[in-house]
């Protein structure tokens, strides 16, 4: 099958899976922003996306997309190294000659950082929420459906805050190149639209990552709302209200 055996086919697979993951990040970001306004609303969304059949299927689908994207990234990196040596990520045009070009030459390093951050994120949230619902015999605190409490607990730890900020920056750098590169691979650009897509992509992923960053910092500095209407000073409800 040409999608698996040819270089162009592999790039197409990388592009499609990458764009699909960006769509998921967009949904995830919108969901996280809800937590800035209402802990109850955020937990309601968590309950809707709990351990039910469609959530499990969606999770498996996302996991498959991520695995395919990562595997093909390593395959293409090895292929480019054999063919081009140190110029394996050379590109002819960039909008931001500093950040985007640097990102294009270090996509594998950024990908590894993102993968490590993803493992941490899955442990902090997915494992303690959906996995806990799938196996209710295991005790978790806060409760699996209390996604808001998970956010508060996670970002009350300065180490996690720093790690998440690094992770978000790495994702931004990765996407700053990956977005328009995917568009280019799929042939949705021309001489005029190449620079336009680069600009659109940079603006879009910047706003997207700023959304995640605002949530992390809002909870880190205690300016996010609380479940109990603010009587706990911006933390999750302590039960004493």
Region 7-27: mean pLDDT is: 86
- Alpha-carbon dihedral sign for residues 139, 114, 41, 45: negative
Share of the chain above pLDDT 70, in %: 73
**pTM of structure:** 0.77
DSSP conformation class of 145? T
Q: At 212, is the pLDDT very low, low, confident or very high (cuts 50, 70, 90)?
A: very high
* pLDDT for the residue numbered 26: 94
211-221: average pLDDT:
95
* Closest among 76, 71, 171 to 120, alpha carbons compared: 171
> Would you list the DSSP string of 65-109?
HHHHHHHHHHHHHHHHHHHHGGGTT--S--SSTTHHHHHHH-HHH
Average pLDDT over every residue of 228-233: 46
**Pick from 1, 8, 12, 5: which is nearest to 69 by CA?**
12
Q: What is the pLDDT of residue 85?
A: 54
Identify the weakest region by mean pLDDT among 29-43, 80-94, 141-155, 217-231. Answer: 80-94
At 58-109, the pLDDT tens digits run 888 888 888 888 888 888 777 777 766 555 444 444 444 444 466 667 777 8
Rounded (10°) CA dihedral 73, 75, 80, 83: -170
Residue 169 has pLDDT above 90, yes or no: yes
Q: How far is CA 48 from the centre of its chain?
A: 20
Position 95 scores a pLDDT of 43
- The single residue listed with the structure tokens 């303690």 is 128
More confident call, 227 vs 68: 68
């Amino acid at each position: 099958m040409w999608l698996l055996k040819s270089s162009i086919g592999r790039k197409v697979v990388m592009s499609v899976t990458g764009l699909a993951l960006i769509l998921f990040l967009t949904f995830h970001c919108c969901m996280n922003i809800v937590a800035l306004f209402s802990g109850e609303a955020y937990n309601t969304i968590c309950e809707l996306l709990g351990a039910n059949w469609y959530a499990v299927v969606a999770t498996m689908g996302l996991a498959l997309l991520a695995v395919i994207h990562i595997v093909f990234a390593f395959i293409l990196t090895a292929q480019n190294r054999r063919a081009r040596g140190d110029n394996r990520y050379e590109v002819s045009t960039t909008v931001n000659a500093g950040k985007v070009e640097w990102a294009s030459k270090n996509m594998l390093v950024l990908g590894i950082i993102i993968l490590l951050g993803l493992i941490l994120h899955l442990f902090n949230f997915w494992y303690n929420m959906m996995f806990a619902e799938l196996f209710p015999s295991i005790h978790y605190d806060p409760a699996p459906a209390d996604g808001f409490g998970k956010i508060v607990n996670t970002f009350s730890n300065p180490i996690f805050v720093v790690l998440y900020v690094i992770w978000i920056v790495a994702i931004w750098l990765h996407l700053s190149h990956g977005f328009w590169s995917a568009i280019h691979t799929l042939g949705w650009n021309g001489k005029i639209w190449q620079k336009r897509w680069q600009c659109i992509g940079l603006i879009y992923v910047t706003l997207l990552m700023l959304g995640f960053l605002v949530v992390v910092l809002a909870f880190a500095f205690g300016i996010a709302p609380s479940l109990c209407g603010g009587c706990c000073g911006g933390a999750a409800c302590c039960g004493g209200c």
